Amino acid sequence: MNEQRNRRRLSQRQRRQNMSNSARDHLLAARRNQETPETIEQRNVRHQRYLQRYNSIEGTSTINFAKYNTTASRLTHIRQIARSRSSEMEGTN
């Protein structure tokens, strides 16, 4: 009986180690919520920390992070810059 429980525990630990960080965070958050449901204030504080962590990465602001998060929108942004630069170059020639 004890051996079975230990084996099961080990497999859960292995499963957790094989997960990506975000999946593990989701799992732990769900477990935390079951034990003590998170209040709205706590959630807001946690979300603010999350935003601060992303804003500290290479000084990106939340607006830019949200706006150019997808590859497609980032590509269109780069194309816009390229277009404006090429038109500037044509103007100087």
Q: How are the residues of the chain apportioned to helix, strand and coil, as percentages rounded to the nearest 5?
A: 85, 0, 15
- Domain ranges, residue 16: 2-92
What's the domain count of the chain?
A: 1
pLDDT recorded at residue 93? 45
Query: pLDDT digit string (tens) for 12-54?
Result: 767 766 767 777 777 787 777 777 777 888 888 888 888 777 6
| Whole-prediction pTM | 0.27
Using CA of residue 56, residue 54, residue 58, residue 18, what is the dihedral sign?
Answer: positive
Question: By C-alpha distance, which of 34, 15, 33 is closest to 24?
Answer: 15
pLDDT at 83 over 60: yes
